[in-house]
Amino acid sequence: MHFKSLADVHRCNQYPEPENPLLTLFTCNPLRNVTSYEVTTDFFVIAFKKFSSGHIRYGKTRYDHESGSMYFLKPHQTLQMKDVALDGDGFEIWFHEDYLSGHPLHTEIKKYSFFNYELNEALHISSKEQQVIWELYEKIASEYHNNQDEFTRDIILGHIESILKYSLRFYKRQFINRFIHSGTTATKFNNALTAYFEKGLLAERGLPTVAMFADELNLSPRYLSDLLKQETGKTAMDLIQIFLISEAKNLLNQGNLTVNEISYILGFENPPYFSRLFKKETGLSPNQFKKQYSN
């Protein structure tokens, strides 16, 4: 199925017609199981659920059930649900990109990278955090169900933006907790990067990508990069480039290889690109660095 309109969403869930063609919201309760379906949508979705059973898949990864979880979906991605049962009240907020038109959130929403996370990287929030999110949801519901006027949309979008900002704060807390309980992701990432180099895969397969290591660590690329940023202050791509420049310095210092040879060893098909990256990171061209070291 493809949900092209909010009326499609409501019909599938056996709800009355939506009050707005571009925005809808509804609460979910544990007395009702969700009909099994696989669907794509034209909508952003912000949801809070407590799952007791069933399977949900978003993107390529199955969601592991946790009590009190938020997840964020963006348009045109597949969502699968099968025999889902809830273990407490929850809510869903659905809105079309056109509902954001002319509002700062139309641009700002692209900065909330958790819309690109896999569903197994959902946000698990504490009871106190749940209270904050529920209060914001109730404010949105109050505006939505009252007589809507020229102020309604801005007020609702202001509360949605607050939910996103609080969620970003709570994700930062979750990153820290993950570091405490499961160790540093940066260490695992650097080990994978070192292994890629030591096995000669740079020359064989070319430059490594963030997606490559994210897959190896069973994370989505955006979640991996945000997690590394929290731990090290650097994104995954930053760390890849730092590693390559470090290896380049080592090879240049050996003195028996040309710049072109080094660029190919490090997976660069275009030596001028390697030279530009090296100068950007060090302030010197490879030949200037090599000459400085030999002097």
Which range scores top for mean pLDDT: 35-44, 59-68, 225-234? 225-234
pLDDT, tens digit, for every residue of 106-122? 999 988 888 877 666 77
Whether residue 27 is found in the same domain as residue 125:
yes
Instruction: Give residue 57's domain range.
Output: 2-182
Whether residue 36 is found in the same domain as residue 125:
yes
Whether residue 162 is found in the same domain as residue 46:
yes
Whether residue 20 is found in the same domain as residue 163:
yes
pLDDT computed for residue 96 by the predictor? 93
Task: Using CB atoms within 10 Å of the CB of residue 247, give its burial: 0 to 12 exposed, 13 to 18 middle, 19+ buried.
Answer: middle
pLDDT computed for residue 59 by the predictor? 41
Euclidean distance between CA atoms 59 and 200, whole angstroms: 32
**What percent of the chain has a predicted confidence (pLDDT) above 70?**
83
pLDDT, tens digit, for every residue of 65-109? 445 788 888 888 777 666 666 666 889 999 999 999 999 999 999
* Tokens matching residue 173: 């807390």
Cα four-point dihedral sign 173, 179, 182, 184? positive
Whether residue 199 is found in the same domain as residue 242:
yes
Q: What is the mean pLDDT of the chain?
A: 82
pLDDT, tens digit, for every residue of 247-272? 898 888 887 888 999 998 888 888 89
Whether residue 168 is found in the same domain as residue 241:
no
Contact 290, 252 (CB under 8 A): yes
Read off the CATH number of the domain in which 113 is found: 2.60.120.280
Read off the CATH number of the domain in which 271 is found: 1.10.10.60
Whether residue 163 is found in the same domain as residue 150:
yes
pLDDT computed for residue 63 by the predictor? 41
Question: Which residue in the block uniquely carries the two structure tokens 């809830």?
Answer: 86
Q: Strand 123-124 relative to strand 69-73: parallel, antiparallel, unpaired?
A: antiparallel
Question: Band of the pLDDT at 33, cuts 50, 70, 90?
Answer: low
pLDDT, tens digit, for every residue of 148-158? 889 999 999 99
pLDDT computed for residue 23 by the predictor? 95
Number of structural domains the chain divides into: 2
pLDDT computed for residue 155 by the predictor? 96
Lowest-confidence range among 12-16, 30-34, 52-56, 186-190?
52-56
Whether residue 193 is found in the same domain as residue 171:
no
Q: Is the pLDDT reported for residue 182 higher than 90?
A: no
